Amino acid sequence: MLIIDCPYCGPRDQSEFSNGGEAHVKRPDGSAEIGDREWGEYVFIRANPKGIFYERWVHSHGCRKWFNCVRDTSTDEILKIYKIDEERPKLDSFKNNVKTPSGEPNLGSGNFTVKK
Amino acid sequence: MKKKYSIFSIAKNALKGHKDWPKMWRSPEPREFYDVIIIGGGGHGLGTAYYLAKEHGLKNIAVIEKGWLGGGNTGRNTTIIRSNYLWDDSAHLYEHSLKLWENLSTELNYNVMFSQRGVMNLAHNEHDIKEIKRRVSANNLNGIDSIWLSKEEIQKKVPIMNTDNLRYPVLGASYQPRGGTARHDAVAWGFAMRADEMGVDIIQNCEAHQIKTKNGKIEGVETSKGFIRANKVGVVASGHTGVLAETAGIRLPLQSKPLQALVSEPIKPIIDTVVMSSAVHAYVSQSDKGELVIGAGTDSYNSFTQRGGFNIIEETVRAMVELYPVFGKMKMLRQWGGIVDICPDASPIISKCDVEGLFFNCGWGTGGFKATPGSANVFAHTIAKNEAHQINSAFNLDRFASGKLVDEHGAAAVAH
C-alpha cells in the first residue's frame, strides 16, 4: 500500500486516492479527419511500461484535486509528484531499475523503504 | 518414450522410494532456428506448443520461459473453471475450453485433477438478479448448462453461508454444474511433458529481451541465451505481453495490474462447490488439501510487483467473514499477487498483428486459467494457418479500431 504525498494536503494513505491512469495523454488534433485506427489508439491504448511511469491520481477523499506522479511500476516506488500544470519531468532524470523489458528489479515492492 | 502413469507405476515407484521416476521433459539448449517460438511457459503457451505439434504437425517448436514452467500466473490463480459468459463469442470460446477440460486428463494421461463441483455466482441486489438471469438465459441459448438458484436452494448447497444478516443479502445465484476447479501446475506439467515427447524444446531460464522484426516480418527473438531465429513467434506472456510487444514497436491495449489471492490453513471439508460474488467481491473454493482458496481483486494502479496492496485483501476478507461468519477466526497462510494484463473490454486478444509471423495471445485479465486448453487450441490454429479459428475470430486486435468490442465486464468475476 502506498503513501502518497498530495501536493495540496501532504502525505496520506493510498485509500484516500483514486488512480487516473497514464498522464499527459493528448487528444489527437482534427478528430473529424483522423481514421478509426488512430482514434482507437487514443481511446483504448495507454502506456504500460515496467519501470518509469507517468500517471495521474486524484485525492478523492481529501481535497479532490488531480495531480501527476512518476512511479516505478517494477518496485511501486513513487519518484516524483507534481501539480497538473507543472512540466513533465524528463525520463532520464530517473534511474531505471529494470535492465531488460521484462526483467526483475534488484529490490522488490516496498523493500526500497528499508534497504535503500 | 511415452511416459505412462497408472496405479501400477505409482506402486512400483513407491517400493523404490520414488527415486527412479523419469524426467518429465528434457532441458535442451536452444537451437539457432525454430519454425515457431512461443514466449511464455505457462499453461497457455505450453498448450499452444502441444496443439501445434499434435494437430498441425509442426515439429520444430520451442517454448521459452523466463523462470520455471507454470511459475507465473498459471501457478498463481484460484483455478476456477466455468463457461457462463454472456456474449456468444465468449460463450463459444470458454465452452470450447470447458469441453477440452472434460477430457484433458485422459488425453494427456496425466491427472489434472479436474473436479466438476459446480460454480455459483451470487446476486445481491435487484440489478444483479436481472443481469444474472439474463446471463443464465443467454447461456442456455448457447447450449451451456446454467441454472438460476433461489435463496433456499443456495442455503441447501452451502449451509454455512449467511444469506440474510448482512449488508448486501444473498437473493439468488446462477449455477453451472459442469464448472469447477483443476490442479493448475498439473495442467502446465501435463502439456509440457506431452509436447516434449513430440519434440518441442522447452527452454527454461531463458528470458525474451527483444522481439526482432525486419521489413514488417518476424526475424526472431533476442534472449538471455542468445538470438534465436524463427519463422513465427507467439507471445503468451500474460502481464508482460505488453512490454514485449513494445520491443517490436507494437502498442497493445493492455494495462498490467496485480491480482491477489490467498489461502487459509487447511480444514475439514466444509464447502464442496465454488462460490463467487462480484458485487461484494469474494470468491472461494476448498482445495483437496483442505485450504480455502480465496480470490481478491486487482489494484487500481498499474504495477508489476506481484504483491498488491493490503487494502484489497482487507476488502475481500471483510466480505468473506460477512458471507461466511464461520470463517471469522481462521488463519490465512499465504497471500500473493500475479500480474494480469487487462483489456478495455475484459476480453482476450488471440490475434495476428501488422508484423507477419507475430501473434499475440493476451488480455486474459483476471480470468485466463479456465480458458487454458481452449485458448491454446485456437491459438495453435491461428499460428499454424495464419488466420483465426472461427472460435477466436472476434478476439482480434482490429476490434479496437472497429469498435466491435466483446464487453464481458459483467461476466468477469473481478470487477475491473
Which of B252, B254, B401 faces A37 most closely, judged by CB atoms? B401
- Gap between the Cα atoms of B146 and B119, Å rounded: 9
CA torsion through residues B71, B72, B76, B78, sign: negative
Q: Which of B359, B364, B370, B366 is nearest to B397 (CA)?
A: B359
Chain B residue whose CA is closest to A74: B304
Residues of B in contact with A55 (CB under 8 A): 301-302
- Gap between the Cα atoms of A107 and B109, Å rounded: 41
Chain A residue whose CA is closest to B307: A109
Q: ∠ CA A55-B259-B328 to the nearest 5 degrees? A: 125
Report CB contact under 8 Å: B207, A102: yes
CB neighbours of B78 closer than 8 A, spacing ≥ 6? B261, B283, B285, B293, B294, B295, B369
Q: Rg for chain A (alpha carbons), in Å?
A: 16
A113–chain B Cβ distance below 8 A for any pair: no
Return residues 184-243 of B near A (CB < 8 Å).
Answer: 207-210, 224, 237, 240, 242-243
Residue entry with cell 526483467: A103
Q: Which of B254, B243, B282, B240 is nearest to B415 (CA)?
A: B282
Return residues 238-277 of B near A (CB < 8 Å).
Answer: 240, 242-244, 246-247, 251-256
- Gap between the Cα atoms of B362 and B380, Å rounded: 14
Which of A44, A74, A101 faces B244 most closely, judged by CB atoms? A101
pLDDT of B342: 96
Report CB contact under 8 Å: B253, A45: yes
User: Which residue has better confidence, B282 or A38?
Assistant: A38
CA distance, residue A101 to nearest chain B CA (Å): 6
Please give the grid coordinates belonging to residue A70: 512518476
pLDDT of B307: 86
B400–chain A Cβ distance below 8 A for any pair: yes
- Gap between the Cα atoms of B245 and B360, Å rounded: 9
Instruction: Classify B157 as helix, strand or coil.
Output: helix
DSSP structure string for B297-324: EE-SS----S---HHHHHHHHHHHHHH-
CB atoms within 10 A of CB B360: 28
Q: Which of B128, B136, B129, B124 is nearest to B176 (CA)?
A: B136
Residue entry with cell 438465459: B137
Query: Contacts from B390-396 at CB under 8 Å and sequence distance 24+?
Result: B391/B92, B391/B93, B391/B96, B392/B93, B392/B350, B392/B351, B394/B89, B395/B89, B395/B93, B395/B347, B395/B348, B395/B349, B395/B350, B395/B351, B396/B349, B396/B350, B396/B351, B396/B352
CA distance, residue A1 to nearest chain B CA (Å): 4
pLDDT of B2: 73
Structural domains of chain A, ranges and CATH numbers in brackets: 3-25+35-93 (3.30.2270.10)
Report CB contact under 8 Å: B302, A48: yes
pLDDT at A116 over 70: no
Q: What is the pLDDT along chain B (416 residues), one digit of tens a residue?
A: 577 888 888 899 999 999 988 899 999 999 999 999 999 999 999 999 999 999 999 999 999 999 999 999 999 999 999 999 999 999 999 999 999 999 999 999 999 999 999 999 999 999 999 999 999 999 999 999 999 999 999 999 999 999 999 999 999 999 999 999 999 999 999 999 999 999 999 999 999 999 999 999 999 999 999 999 999 999 999 999 999 999 999 999 999 999 999 999 999 999 999 999 988 888 999 999 999 999 999 999 999 998 888 999 999 999 999 999 999 999 999 999 999 999 999 999 999 999 999 999 999 999 999 999 999 999 999 999 999 999 999 999 999 999 999 999 877 766 65
Residues of B in contact with A53 (CB under 8 A): 302
DSSP state for residue B250 in the 8-state scheme: -
Report CB contact under 8 Å: B305, A102: no
Residues of B in contact with A101 (CB under 8 A): 209-210, 240, 243-244, 246-247
Question: Containing H/E element for A40?
Answer: helix A36-44
**Residue B285 β-bridge partners:** B293
DSSP structure string for B352-405: E-SSBTEEEEE-BTT--GGGHHHHHHHHHHHHHHSS--GGGTTSSTTHHHH---
pLDDT at A19 over 90: yes
A28–chain B Cβ distance below 8 A for any pair: no
pLDDT of B189: 97
Q: Which of A1, A7, A2 is nearest to A62 (CA)?
A: A7
Amino acid letter, B188: A
Chain B residue whose CA is closest to A3: B309
- Alpha helices for B227-353 (secondary structure H): 241-247, 310-323
pLDDT of B1: 56
Report CB contact under 8 Å: A71, B240: no
For the purposes of burial, counting CB atoms within 10 Å of the CB of B72, is it exposed (0-12), middle (13-18) or buried (19 or more)? buried
CB neighbours of B215 closer than 8 A, spacing ≥ 6? none
With a threshold of 0.90, tell me whether the complex ipTM lies above it.
Answer: yes
Which of A19, A46, A102 faces B240 most closely, judged by CB atoms? A102
Residue entry with cell 519434440: B199
B396–chain A Cβ distance below 8 A for any pair: no
Return residues 121-160 of B near A (CB < 8 Å).
Answer: none
Estimate the share of chain A in helix, then strand, then coil, as percent rounded to the nearest 5: 15, 30, 55
CA distance, residue B354 to nearest chain A CA (Å): 12
